[in-house]
Every structure is written in C-alpha cells, then in structure tokens.
Amino acid sequence: MTRSVPLNVRTSGDGPAVIFLHGLYGSGSNWRAVARPLGADHRVLLPDLRNHGQSPHAADMDYRVMADDVVALMDAEGIDAGRLVGHSMGGKVAMALTLGHPQRVHSALVVDIAPVAYDHSAEHGRLIAAMQALDTQGLRNREDADAQLAAAVPHPMVRQFLLTNLQRQQGAWGWRIPLAILADQLSVIQDWPLREPAPRSTPMVFLHGGASDYVDRRGRAAINHQFPQATIESIDGVGHWVHAEAPTAFGERLERFLHSRAST
C-alpha cells in the first residue's frame, strides 16, 4: 500500500483553515496572490502536492493517495476539518478528499475541473518532452531557457508557468519536479476512477472558466450525478487558469464561498 508523503507547506493567518491545492506542474506558491488577503481572518495553507514544489517525490499519483497526503498534513497541523480550494489536478484531490474523508472537509471550491477522465495526453506529453529536452547544462539564465522552450511551447504564459520549476542549485540548473514520474503517471492524473456518491451534507461549488473546455456538458452532468448538492458557476471569457486570468473576479467568488452561510 502506498504511504502518504509529508507535504511542504506555507502557512499564514489565524482562523478557519483554508487549504489551497494547485494543479499539474504548479506549487502552493501559485495561490499566494489570491490567498494573501484571507490571512486577516483565516488560517491559510499553501501545500506543494507530491512530486511538485519542495514536496517529496513518489511513484504513485493516485488521487486517493494524494488525498491521504492532505489528510496527513491536516493531522500534522491540528486541523479537524478544512475549507478546500483546488484547481485542476488539485480540484480532483479536493473531490477525492471529500469522497474518502468527508468528515475532514468543511466545504470545497473546485476550480475548472470535473469528475471525469480527460484525454490531454498529447498536450502534456509535448510539454514534458520539451522540459526534458532543455539543455540545462548550457543555460546561463532563465531567458536562455525561455528561448529554448519557445519552439515547442509557443504560449509565453505557459512557458513562464513551467519555468517556475526550473531552479539553480550549487551552480547547476535543473528541474525540481520529477519529469519521468509525471510522464509515467499522466494517465493516472487524467483519470477519475472514483464512483462513490458524495455526502450531500458537504457544501461544494464548481467554478469554471467560461472559455475553458474542461467543464463541458459531459462534465456538468458528471458533477450533478456524483456531487448533486454542488452548485456550478462560471466566469465569462476566462480560460483554464481562472484565478490567474481573472484574479479580481475569482477573489470575489472565493470571498462569497468562504463567507456563505454553508461555509461558516
């Protein structure tokens, strides 16, 4: 049986716990701008999920195991139940935690993801291959890395996001995420094998980008089937990175979620 790993986490503030869960190739720091205003009246936790950021590497990316990682973090931090905010892969971790450990979830905001299997293997395979092909030995700076990635990853925002994982240690550049493990686990990350119904007592909001294809008609039907108590909302004109593309609108929805009657 795969064991949980101790997650690296940044914490701030005091009050009801809010745990932010990032997406693939991300880290807890992706949420800093969104989470910073909450520190006045919430205890904010920004963990790095396994194989991301400064957290340990492990061969298994099954969502049940990743949810167990978060539960172990909550145990270590003395949190009985938390409010979860998860984007993409982190949203699936939040769903898995709600299903497997409902007593530990006060409420959940799931961002631009649905309880379905996706088929983005070609896209993610291309991104990982581009990172693996980067000549880290010849790099002088991040601008060199950005120029090398440009042909395979033409979108500047995506390149800059990937390059948050490039670090310099003891004079040498390298990737802090285990690219081989992520490549091996892509099918697991994209899958959604959990079929049990969610507890109707857990308040949930699914918030998606109006211009994103991650929550389509099939996704909405799956949400309504497995999480019938949830509400589904969207922010018009926004793509998959909802909180990065529309931080003000997202912040307003987040405040509404945290201060709704069901979440207090």
Q: What is the full per-residue pLDDT of the chain (264 aa) written as tens digits? A: 568 999 999 999 999 999 999 999 999 999 999 999 998 999 999 999 999 999 999 999 999 999 999 999 999 999 999 999 999 999 999 999 999 999 999 999 999 999 999 999 999 999 999 999 999 998 999 999 999 999 999 999 999 999 999 999 888 999 999 999 999 999 999 999 999 999 889 999 999 999 999 999 999 999 999 999 999 999 999 999 999 999 999 999 999 999 985 555
Pairing assessment for the beta strands 82-87 and 105-111 based on DSSP bridges: parallel
Residue bearing tokens 């990172």? 131
Rg (alpha carbons) of the chain, rounded to whole number = 18
Confidence at residue 260, expressed as pLDDT on a 0 to 100 scale: 82
Confidence at residue 1, expressed as pLDDT on a 0 to 100 scale: 55
Confidence at residue 73, expressed as pLDDT on a 0 to 100 scale: 99
Are the C-beta atoms of 134 and 233 separated by less than 8 Å?
Answer: no
Confidence at residue 224, expressed as pLDDT on a 0 to 100 scale: 97
Confidence at residue 199, expressed as pLDDT on a 0 to 100 scale: 87
Indicate which residues carry an active-site annotation.
88, 240
Amino acid at 29: S
All structural domains of the chain: 9-117+191-263 (3.40.50.1820), 121-179 (no CATH)
